[in-house]
């Protein structure tokens, strides 16, 4: 695809018209949708040309504008043609290939699956960062989210360019932004990670149904697919399932919701792939994304509800036996111990953040980490010799 620009100074309005006409011809998006995307691309190109000394000094600003606009248009149309699901797979593959060798599990044997899990976790955070950057650079509201396929394609194209941006470093060196972020992420990983929580959300290496039946995830799995005849509070179970669906829909994770629906029916992997019309590689990406959201929902978004459902709320020492509870407390820093005490005393998140002298978001992240430690201890007992019934 090539934008045929006139050899005159087009300006932002002329650039907008050409981009708009090309989008109308190349996509099935609405007129308003094409106008919005064309306007944002034209404004971005104009801003880059105005702020770049190299472009201004080149004496050929029009050619630069044409090339920049053409590159962005080709990227957007490329993702548009791929579609929502395949486009996300393509973006994930592109960024994963760039950062693969920079993501290394901390103090653990470097395995292919371990890296994939870390890459998935990292990219989820990077996608959120890219969305915030996209809103900021295009002057969109903080609540903006891509709604149409064209808007999603625009965001994915921006995310790819955002990740590949060259950041200047000392010694006349530079590095791509996504690599710098990946290196920082890898260095910040704690020595102990909750492997069993990953397994509980189907993060195992083998593409088989064993991942949904392993001993380490027995508690979650039984609760998720339990029949009504089992001695679990069915109304609480239904509430958790309903809340998880709402959580996924709110975040536009419709394919994850579909995957969850099929998993609730305990269907085998091959049948799920056939119903969703995806191949094993696509199903693996979907499975990993669902894992990510399940972890966030269980340990952060509605942790009180989930832990009550699993019999692991604060009143029951997060589901830990006396020995495990003692071990858990020994692992906590003084700051984490104070946070736990405030939670036990019923303080709100706002009150806790003020008491600890941190932001609300920081307090929630610290609590998330504390719950991960408890989950890790609880799962290590389940996957080991098991607990006795009188514990």
State the pLDDT at residue 73: 95
pLDDT digits (tens, 9 = 90+) for 337-363: 888 888 777 777 788 888 888 888 787
pLDDT digits (tens, 9 = 90+) for 223-274: 444 444 343 345 656 777 777 788 888 888 888 888 888 877 767 788 888 8
Q: Is the pLDDT reported for residue 302 higher than 70?
A: no
Q: Give the Cβ contact number of residue 18 at 10 Å.
A: 20
CA–CA separation, 172 and 166 (whole Å): 12
In the beta sheet, which residues pair with residue 174? 168
pLDDT more than 90, % of the chain: 21
State the pLDDT at residue 379: 62
pLDDT digits (tens, 9 = 90+) for 110-129: 566 677 778 888 898 899 99
Q: Which residues of 85-104 are buried (b: 16+ CB within 10 A; e: fewer)?
A: eebbbbbbeebbebbeebbb
CA–CA separation, 190 and 198 (whole Å): 15
| CA-based torsion, 218, 220, 221, 224: positive or negative | positive
pLDDT (average), residues 169-173: 77
Q: Give the Cβ contact number of residue 125 at 10 Å.
A: 12
State the pLDDT at residue 189: 60
Check residues 318 and 93 and name the one with the higher pLDDT.
Answer: 93
Across 7-16, 313-322, 325-334, the highest mean pLDDT is recorded for: 325-334
Least confident of 75-79, 128-132, 212-216, 268-272: 212-216
User: What is the pairing mode between strands 166-169 and 173-176?
Assistant: antiparallel
pLDDT band at 314 (very low <50, low <70, confident <90, very high): low
State the pLDDT at residue 197: 34
In the beta sheet, which residues pair with residue 167? 175
pLDDT digits (tens, 9 = 90+) for 32-52: 999 999 999 999 999 988 888
């Amino acid at each position: 695809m090539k934008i045929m620009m006139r050899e005159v100074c087009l300006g932002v309005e002329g650039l907008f018209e050409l981009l708009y006409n090309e989008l109308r011809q190349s996509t099935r998006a609405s007129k308003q949708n094409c106008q919005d995307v064309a306007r944002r691309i034209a404004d971005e190109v104009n801003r880059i040309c105005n702020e770049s000394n190299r472009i201004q000094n080149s004496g050929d600003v029009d050619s630069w504008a044409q090339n920049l606009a053409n590159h962005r248009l080709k990227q957007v149309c490329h993702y548009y043609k791929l579609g929502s699901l395949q486009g996300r797979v393509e973006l994930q593959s592109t960024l994963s290939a760039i950062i693969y060798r920079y993501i290394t599990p901390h103090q653990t044997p470097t395995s292919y699956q371990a890296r994939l899990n870390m890459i998935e976790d990292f990219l989820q955070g990077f996608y959120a960062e890219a969305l915030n950057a996209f809103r900021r650079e295009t002057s969109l509201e903080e609540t903006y989210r891509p709604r149409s396929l064209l808007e999603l394609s625009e965001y994915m194209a921006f995310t790819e360019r955002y990740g590949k941006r060259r950041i200047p470093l000392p010694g006349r060196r530079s590095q791509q932004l996504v690599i710098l972020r990946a290196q920082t992420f890898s260095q910040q990983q704690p020595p102990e990670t909750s492997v069993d929580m990953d397994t509980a959300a189907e993060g195992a290496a083998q593409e088989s149904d064993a991942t949904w039946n392993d001993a380490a995830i027995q508690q979650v799995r039984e609760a998720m697919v339990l029949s009504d005849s089992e001695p679990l509070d069915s109304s609480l179970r239904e509430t958790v399932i309903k809340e998880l669906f709402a959580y996924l829909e709110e975040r536009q994770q419709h394919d994850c919701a579909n995957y969850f629906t099929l998993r609730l029916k305990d269907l085998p992997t091959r049948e799920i792939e056939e119903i969703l019309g995806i191949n094993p590689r696509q199903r693996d990406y979907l499975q990993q994304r669902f894992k990510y959201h399940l972890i966030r929902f269980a340990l952060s978004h509605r942790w009180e509800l989930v832990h009550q459902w699993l019999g692991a709320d604060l009143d029951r020492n997060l589901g830990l036996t006396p020995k495990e509870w003692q071990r858990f407390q020994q692992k906590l820093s003084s700051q984490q111990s104070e946070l736990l005490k405030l939670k036990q005393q019923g303080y709100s998140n706002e009150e806790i953040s003020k008491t600890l002298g941190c932001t609300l978001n920081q307090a929630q992240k610290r609590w998330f980490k504390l719950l991960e430690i408890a989950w890790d201890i609880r799962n290590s007992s389940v996957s080991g010799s098991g607990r006795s019934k009188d514990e």
